[in-house]
């Protein structure tokens, strides 16, 4: 794979914006270079455009070099950036598993890039050869999501590996739910595969959806193209400081994950006992996909009881399906009680 050739010509050849913080990086006592207000310290100053302190801490915890980390305004930012860096609008295409997370297609549409959906097997497992059949010479990206949303299952590692090693473009592997899965992340194998981008987020296991921080892990070469295209100050100072502190709470995060997995087991067991539930898809994530007799009626019934789940019955392979996020013990018990008395 030749990365330079995969990148859009205009992106390869452009000169990126150079901010005041880029041009002078040392320590000084008087900063008169960025047209900031000298008053209202500390939030009068622009934040570090490359978030080095935060990246170094994440790097230490994840065992990944800081040069292999990109931080974005949620995972949504790197999802959009892969299109802007690699896909020529109206010419290139991307291939993705179906069903999966809706943002990949939205970003493809915004960027005017053809989005080719390839159905998973009926049990939501991945057939790599099926996916690779959809690839042609203009395919720049393949999107995989493991554990997948909305099905909740991990994708088979050997099938994923076949895709990474066979495809001559970039594989984006979204691991937003990896903390809830037993099978380990692809991060330890990052160095081996120059075409692999792994996405993770602070929005799920870390309980920080509100502060908007997503991570992309890839080769330093790919990361430098993301840095070239991103907004100069894409992560604000409040988020950088907040997460720097939150990273000291790994143990608390792990306790939350254990609790959610315990509640997931509870819900799976209880749901299996309820007549209107026809099927429960085994989950490696913090939600469960269930198949019910009448999804619209049951969705509306739950709404009337103040309980909101996600209606997925119009999504490919999800006929009759509702997606239920794992809540607290009390919330899950309310859901079960409501379903029992339907």
- Give 7 or 211: the residue with its C-beta nearer to ligand PLP: 211
In the complex, what is the shortest distance from the CB of residue 202 to ligand PLP, in angstroms, rounded to a whole number?
Answer: 7
- Give 21 or 99: the residue with its C-beta nearer to ligand PLP: 99
Could you say which of 173, 176, 218, 223 contacts ligand PLP (CB under 6 A)?
176
What secondary structure letter does DSSP report for 210? G
Which phi and psi angles does 314 have, rounded to 5°? -95, 0
Q: Which of residues 71-90 bind ligand PLP (CB under 6 A)?
A: 74-76
In the complex, what is the shortest distance from the CB of residue 74 to ligand PLP, in angstroms, rounded to a whole number?
Answer: 2
294: left (phi over 0), alpha (psi -120 to 50) or beta: beta
147 binds ligand PLP (CB under 6 A): no
Q: Give the per-residue contact string, 4-23, with ligand PLP (x = CB under 6 A; - = no).
A: --------------------
Distance from C-alpha of 92 to C-alpha of 210, rounded to nearest angstrom: 34
284 binds ligand PLP (CB under 6 A): no
179 binds ligand PLP (CB under 6 A): no
The window from 68-76, 113-121, 164-172, 300-308 that contacts ligand PLP (CB under 6 A) reads 68-76
In the chain, how many H helices and how many E strands? 13, 11
Distance from C-alpha of 101 to C-alpha of 177, rounded to nearest angstrom: 12
Name residue, tokens 């010479």.
137
- Give 8 or 284: the residue with its C-beta nearer to ligand PLP: 284
For residue 312, what are its two tokens?
A: 């997925």
Q: Length of the chain, please?
A: 342
CB atoms within 10 A of CB 19: 14
Could you say which of 83, 101, 115, 143 contacts ligand PLP (CB under 6 A)?
101
CA dihedral 95, 208, 210, 314 (to 10 degrees): 40
CB atoms within 10 A of CB 42: 8
The window from 36-44, 58-66, 120-128, 202-210 that contacts ligand PLP (CB under 6 A) reads 202-210
DSSP-assigned beta bridge partners for residue 96: 117, 143
Q: Where are the beta strands (DSSP E) in 225-315?
A: 277-281, 287-292, 310-311
Distance from C-alpha of 93 to C-alpha of 117, rounded to nearest angstrom: 11
In the complex, what is the shortest distance from the CB of residue 37 to ligand PLP, in angstroms, rounded to a whole number?
Answer: 31
The window from 11-19, 70-78, 186-194, 308-316 that contacts ligand PLP (CB under 6 A) reads 70-78
In the complex, what is the shortest distance from the CB of residue 51 to ligand PLP, in angstroms, rounded to a whole number?
Answer: 15
97 and 88 Cβ atoms separated by less than 8 Å? no
Which phi and psi angles does 272 have, rounded to 5°? -60, -20
In the complex, what is the shortest distance from the CB of residue 41 to ligand PLP, in angstroms, rounded to a whole number?
Answer: 31
- Give 153 or 201: the residue with its C-beta nearer to ligand PLP: 201
In the complex, what is the shortest distance from the CB of residue 173 to ligand PLP, in angstroms, rounded to a whole number?
Answer: 11
In the complex, what is the shortest distance from the CB of residue 76 to ligand PLP, in angstroms, rounded to a whole number?
Answer: 4
By CB under 6 A, name the binding residues for ligand PLP: 74-76, 101, 145, 149, 174, 176, 201, 203-204, 209, 214
């Amino acid at each position: 794979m030749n990365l330079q050739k995969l990148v859009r010509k205009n992106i390869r050849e452009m000169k990126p914006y150079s901010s005041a913080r880029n041009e002078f990086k040392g320590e000084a006592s008087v900063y008169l270079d960025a047209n900031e207000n000298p008053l209202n310290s500390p939030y009068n100053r622009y934040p570090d455009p490359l978030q080095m302190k935060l990246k170094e801490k994440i790097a230490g915890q994840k065992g990944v070099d800081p040069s292999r980390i990109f931080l974005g305004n949620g995972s949504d930012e790197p999802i959009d950036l892969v299109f802007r860096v690699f896909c020529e609008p109206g010419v290139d295409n991307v291939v993705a598993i179906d069903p999966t997370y809706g943002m990949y297609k939205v970003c493809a549409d915004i960027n005017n890039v053809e989005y080719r959906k390839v159905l998973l097997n009926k049990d939501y497992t991945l057939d790599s050869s099926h996916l690779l059949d959809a690839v042609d010479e203009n395919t720049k990206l393949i999107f995989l999501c493991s554990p997948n949303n909305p099905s909740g299952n991990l994708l088979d590692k050997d099938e994923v590996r076949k895709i990474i090693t066979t495809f001559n473009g970039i594989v984006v592997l979204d691991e937003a739910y990896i903390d809830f899965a037993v099978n380990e992340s692809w991060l330890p194998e990052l160095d081996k595969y120059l075409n692999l981008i792994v996405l993770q987020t602070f929005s799920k296991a870390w309980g920080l959806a509100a502060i908007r921080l997503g991570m992309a892990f890839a080769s330093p070469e790919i990361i430098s193209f993301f840095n070239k295209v991103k907004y100069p100050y894409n992560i604000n100072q409040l988020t950088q400081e907040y997460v720097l502190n939150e990273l000291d709470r790994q143990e608390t995060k792990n306790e939350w994950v254990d609790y959610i997995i315990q509640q997931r087991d509870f819900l799976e067991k209880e749901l299996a006992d309820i007549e209107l539930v026809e099927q429960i898809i085994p989950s490696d994530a913090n939600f469960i996909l269930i198949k019910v007799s009448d999804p619209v009626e049951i969705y509306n019934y739950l709404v009337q009881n103040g309980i909101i789940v996600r209606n997925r019955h119009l999504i490919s392979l999800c006929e009759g399906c509702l997606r239920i996020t794992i809540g607290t013990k009390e919330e899950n018990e309310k859901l079960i009680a409501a379903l029992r008395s339907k």
